[in-house]
Chains A and B, each alone.
Chain A
């Protein structure tokens, strides 16, 4: 009955309650919308980054990430690609050669990352081809010799245009310096200027011949999964199969001449979590292993590890983006928290007024035998209900606004300059998840409880004799 009394009490002074209710609602709408806009921008950024730059999951030879040398290619890459393609959740897989190079258009060299791609399979994992305007060539569809695709930003820096020559200086598989002339067949521009200035694309088959790689030799395998796929479980499966660790245990067992004690193999096999270790972590582990290993054994094991594969989801590959996404959760707490804090003072004030107005009633309730705990609970419930009524109103309004805005998008043209350089799109589709709403509801309830503490304390401090007597 206390619950129903508390609820009904809110509506005794309708005007006052509605004022508080709308204050909370408006505050929350402002907070939720701000967070949703930032959230939307970030999600968009991540989606685009996955589709053009990173892919969902990347595979490299374990030691390539420590030191990107040309000879550190993935063993059996062709077979691995075929296997991965069988996965229902994988949309496409593509192998890339990935080499550091100097690029020069005749006005001084710049560093660049040369991505050797198969134009067909690359088109399926990456949207990059969509970022080449019709007027600026296309995705390897000209019959130029040694075609190369660079970004418009890089083209400006190099002072080259479509069909112009650029020279690439890189190192072949054997470690010898090679120079070659390419012709610009396409110029792309994404929203991420840093990415644009760094990366250039050439055809795989040409690089293979030029630098002595085999047909199925790649530095990187990129795969794109369906949007709702569970990346963690896919990457775990891949790690189990191909990670440095699993290849290593097999290798250890198979290498008869490698006099490795079976207890070492057991030690590594026993712990399934080891499959997710990358090369660097594996090195650390080896240093700490309880078994005494000879220097030679350590080297042998490491060599086995090196030929294994590191599996990275986009979160591993672009940790700064994953971190931003993580901070987004905190942003919600901070934004909505500050708004609720401010509103909380208003709620405290309102509830103090309520208690003051009802001194006689509280006196009567205590006189007839309502104990302090119940009186306290009643004031707290009343405050929580009032806050929740405002909170729910705010959430309903926000979700209607967001669902409407997420269809049309919000255009931030005036802010576009700064946004663009960080790879953010200028059209933003606000987004907020169901779990965020749940968090907000919990925060609103907490605000109610905290705001009630002082007014409720005031109520139970009343002396029933004085309270009943008061006018």
Chain B
């Protein structure tokens, strides 16, 4: 009974609004654009943070990535010995880190070498990474064919190689290549598997497997290729000695990531004269993405709030005009026996219907704009149920806030004066 009465009142409100279709539509526009921008803005922010989350998941949110870098002043520093630059993480760094921190699950060393490789007729330079089976646990990638490295490979110094999708494409290798022999430098390896690889940046962190073509057991890499890499350049030879190119540290839990990273930073600072390493924390990216989202939401949120305010004032303006226009009607209703609050609810319902319908159209617009953004600018956008519900709430609230004053004005109309009103 009460529900059907509300429904009837809403219908009456709609009927009244439909009497002035153009006016109603124009009045709605403010809310349409206000709500539209709220939904669109939230979807862009949400898209950005979900994208960040997705990338972080690919790197591993519990991981800390320590990468060897050639310190800037290295070119002329004392570390140059006989045309050789020595920098980066050492085998000892890994041992120290593993022994010092107990909130670590495991560490995975990465030793990268560039070698001339040959598969059948095809020969080219590949980036080969020596690592442990744990690599494949930390960076979860689908196995396209065959298998990944095993502990036995490490222990037995097995001459096996796992290609990345990327490397396989270069070599024109496919599933049927499993079991074939790949020549790496002067050694021969059996191709045992192909795994997927991820490229691109997650914020400013490069995917660890972005440029890797193949994996071999780290023990084999150390034995066969050593720590010194020679590259030919214009002036002659450049020799570099790097023991480990990267160390991926997996913290015991997500709560340990930041403290462990700090500890590693302090420890490395103590043992390295120069800062020839960089520590990246995917988790920090998440924080960054969230901070960006917050800023984004605040800035665009204020813009949306202003447009909603303008829309609300527009509604209030029209409703005040409508109250004046309908003074006589109000007088008649009051004379017949309508109570003040019934007049208030009549006008308030009209305003809320107006703003809510505007809001719903706005939500449609707000879902269309992100689609355009994604389609044309390639930016990820996600319209969440939360933002839609929020928008509906905002629309109703705009109607209530800006409709209240006109409604109270209507209710305070003196019926005697109103009945004489022209």
A pairs with B: no
Chain A positions within 8 Å of B, measured between CB atoms, are: none
Chain B positions within 8 Å of A, measured between CB atoms, are: none
